């Protein structure tokens, strides 16, 4: 039990919290920019989480204190608008808005949020926040909602209040993640399979290298990539395919003459990445980490050259990984344009790898990267609290 936060809640609102909910951040092992293209992804929940304590109010106001920012937000359920600044608050407002739109019978709420998922590091702190809040609010008002619905409403909140037309991966893994498992998801049908991640047995770990490059243009560039890949699919659709999952690189080559260069490369990334996700899932099933690592490198190359979402700082992690013998694979993770890369390294040499990346970043005049040793955590959870 988070005693410190429960005491803080009592101090803020004069009574105890009724509900505690939490949701994890994520890494994506592979399958980048494929989710909104109805393709495959292979994320895993991480041990870093966002938490939400809440109680019901008798009016229609929502009061939230964000411990990490020492900031508060107050709004009415009857007037739900995004704020021009305060990004964290918009994710919460978005969740209430999505629930109200859904016709959920809600009342006012007092809440407290805090977490340890690094912000803007490409580890999906926003989905962790959204999902912890929706999980807590539905628990608080006894709303029964399928887990899939929770993920979809959290995505809707991000679209409308976060300004990013994201896919479903981050919210889905925040809801469905399981300890020591990666989740192979078909983003079209939402059928999924949990695959054990036996990294420990192999003496390996997934290291997250946060370049600390803030992704200023991320939302506009992200939305643009989404449009570009959709436009390329329309052209390919004339050759009888419905989704990228049905396309092959051969079919793409046949269509080369009718696609402009950008469309061709965006499509090549999505088609090849879908295949890499399937191959990676197979590799994980037989603990073939050498193959997995190779696929990670290839994914980075494709994201850098074809999808154009990398940056020099992310490339540096990839390049160091390519030279470092005990690094099996490395690639940017999440939307790109900054944020983090992951590296699959032997536990024994992880520190050396970190030192090498740091030294090279310094040589190039980059920001000093931050590293996180990730363990795979569980998905969202909520519980009713007994009074303290």
Q: 12 or 342, CB closer to ligand GLA?
A: 342
Whichever of 35 and 73 has its CB closer to ligand GLA, that residue is: 35
Nearer to ligand GLA, 39 or 111 (CB): 39
* Nearest-5° Cα angle at 299, 322 to 275: 135
Residue 225 near ligand GLA by CB under 6 A: no
Which region, judged by CB under 6 A, interacts with ligand GLA, from 27-35, 63-71, 112-120, 194-202?
27-35
User: Taking CA 166 as the corner, what is the angle to CA 226 and CA 284, rounded to the nearest 5 degrees?
Assistant: 95
Return d(Cα 307, Cα 265) in angstroms, integer. Answer: 7
The distance of closest approach from Cβ of residue 105 to ligand GLA in the complex, given in angstroms and rounded to an integer, is 29
Q: How far is the CB of 358 from ligand GLA (least distance, A)?
A: 25
25 touching ligand GLA, by CB under 6 A: no
Binding-site member from 6, 19, 30, 32 for ligand GLA (CB under 6 A)? 32
| Residue number with CB closer to ligand GLA (33 or 331) | 33
- Report the run of H or E that residue 330 belongs to, with start and end: strand 327-332
Question: If binding means CB under 6 A, how many residues of this protein chain bind ligand GLA?
Answer: 11
Given the rule CB under 6 A, which of 30-38, 106-114, 208-216, 360-368 is the region that contacts ligand GLA? 30-38
| Closest C-alpha among 87, 110, 215, 61 to residue 157 | 87
Shortest spacing between CB 245 and ligand GLA, in angstroms: 15
What are the residues whose beta carbons fall under 8 Å from the beta carbon of 171, sequence distance 6 or more? 127, 130, 131, 150, 151, 152, 154, 155, 158
Q: Which of 182, 232, 271, 335 binds ligand GLA (CB under 6 A)?
A: 335
Give the HSE-up count for residue 12: Cα atoms under 13 Å, Cβ half-sphere. Answer: 25
Instruction: Kindly state whether residue 334 participates in binding ligand GLA, applying the rule CB under 6 A.
Output: yes
Residues 6+ apart with CB under 8 A from 155: 166, 167, 168, 171
Q: Return d(Cα 291, Cα 296) in angstroms, integer.
A: 9
- Nearest approach in angstroms of CB 32 to ligand GLA is 4
CA angle 342, 176, 224 (to 5 degrees): 55
Nearer to ligand GLA, 76 or 220 (CB): 220
Q: Which two tokens stand for residue 65?
A: 């204190």
Q: Which stretch binds ligand GLA (CB under 6 A): 32-40, 66-74, 129-137, 371-379?
A: 32-40
Beta strands 327-332; 381-384: pairing state: unpaired
> Which residues within the stretch 156-185 sit at the binding site for ligand GLA (CB under 6 A)?
166-167, 169-170
**With respect to ligand GLA, which residue has the nearer C-beta, 5 or 32?**
32
- b/e per residue, 92-105, with b = 16+ CB within 10 A? bbbbbbbbeeeebe
CB 333 within 8 A of CB 339: yes
Report the nearest approach of ligand GLA to the CB of residue 163 (Å).
Answer: 12
Helix %, strand %, coil % for the chain, to 5? 45, 25, 35
Cα(98)–Cα(83) distance, rounded to whole angstroms? Answer: 16
Q: Establish if 35 lies at the interface with ligand GLA (CB under 6 A).
A: yes
Residue among 298 and 346 whose Cβ is closer to ligand GLA: 298
CA–CA dist 363, 188 (Å, integer): 44
Q: Based on the shown chain and the rule CB under 6 A, indicate whether residue 271 belongs to the binding site for ligand GLA.
A: no
Cα distance between residue 202 and residue 40, in whole Å: 25
Q: Please identify, using beta-carbon distances, which residue of 111 and 336 lies nearer to ligand GLA.
A: 336
Min dist. Cβ of residue 274 to ligand GLA (A): 12
Angle, CA of 146, 148 and 153, to the nearest 5°:
95
DSSP string covering 297-322: HHHHHHHHHTS----HHHHHHHHHHH
Region from 31-39, 74-82, 229-237, 285-293 binding ligand GLA, contact rule CB under 6 A = 31-39
> Which residues 93-152 are close enough to bind ligand GLA by CB under 6 A?
124
Nearest approach, Cβ of residue 129 and ligand GLA (Å): 13
Per CB under 6 A, 66 contacts ligand GLA: no
As annotated, the active-site residues are: 170
Q: Which residue ranges make up the site for ligand GLA (CB under 6 A)?
A: 32-33, 35-36, 124, 166-167, 169-170, 334-335
């Amino acid at each position: 039990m988070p005693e410190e936060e429960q005491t803080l809640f009592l101090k803020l609102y004069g009574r105890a919290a009724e509900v505690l909910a939490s949701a994890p951040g994520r890494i994506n092992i592979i399958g980048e920019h494929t989710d909104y293209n109805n393709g495959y992804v292979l994320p895993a929940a991480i041990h870093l989480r966002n938490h939400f304590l809440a109680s019901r109010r008798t009016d229609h106001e929502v009061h939230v204190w964000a411990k990490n920012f020492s900031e508060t937000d107050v709004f009415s359920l009857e007037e739900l608008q995004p704020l021009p600044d305060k990004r964290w608050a918009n994710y919460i407002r978005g969740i209430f808005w999505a629930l109200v739109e859904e016709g959920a019978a809600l009342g006012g709420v007092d809440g407290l949020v805090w977490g340890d998922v690094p912000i803007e590091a490409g580890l999906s702190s926003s989905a962790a926040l959204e999902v912890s809040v929706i999980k807590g609010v539905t628990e608080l008002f006894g709303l029964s909602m399928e887990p899939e619905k929770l993920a979809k409403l959290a995505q809707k909140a991000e679209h409308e209040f976060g300004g990013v037309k994201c896919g479903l991966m981050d919210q889905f893994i925040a809801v469905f993640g399981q300890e020591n498992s990666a989740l192979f998801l078909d983003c079209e049908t939402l059928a999924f399979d949990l695959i054990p991640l036996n990294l420990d047995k192999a003496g390996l770990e997934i290291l997250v290298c946060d370049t600390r490059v803030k992704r200023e243009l991320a939302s506009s560039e992200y939305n643009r990539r989404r449009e570009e890949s959709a436009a390329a699919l329309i052209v390919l659709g004339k050759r009888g395919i419905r989704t990228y999952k049905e396309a092959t690189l051969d079919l793409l080559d046949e269509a080369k003459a009718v696609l402009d260069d950008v469309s061709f490369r965006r499509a090549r990334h999505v088609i090849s990445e879908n295949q890499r996700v399937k191959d990676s899932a197979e590799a994980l099933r037989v603990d073939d980490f050498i193959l997995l690592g190779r696929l990670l490198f290839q994914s980075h190359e494709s994201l850098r050259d074809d999808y154009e979402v990398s940056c020099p700082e992310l490339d540096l992690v990839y390049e160091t990984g390519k030279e470092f013998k005990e690094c099996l694979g490395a690639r940017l993770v999440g939307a790109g344009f900054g944020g983090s890369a992951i590296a699959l390294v032997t536990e024994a040499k992880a520190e050396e790898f970190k030192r090498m990346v740091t030294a090279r970043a310094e040589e190039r005049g980059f920001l000093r990267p931050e590293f996180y040793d990730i363990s795979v955590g569980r998905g969202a959870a909520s519980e009713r609290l007994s009074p303290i």
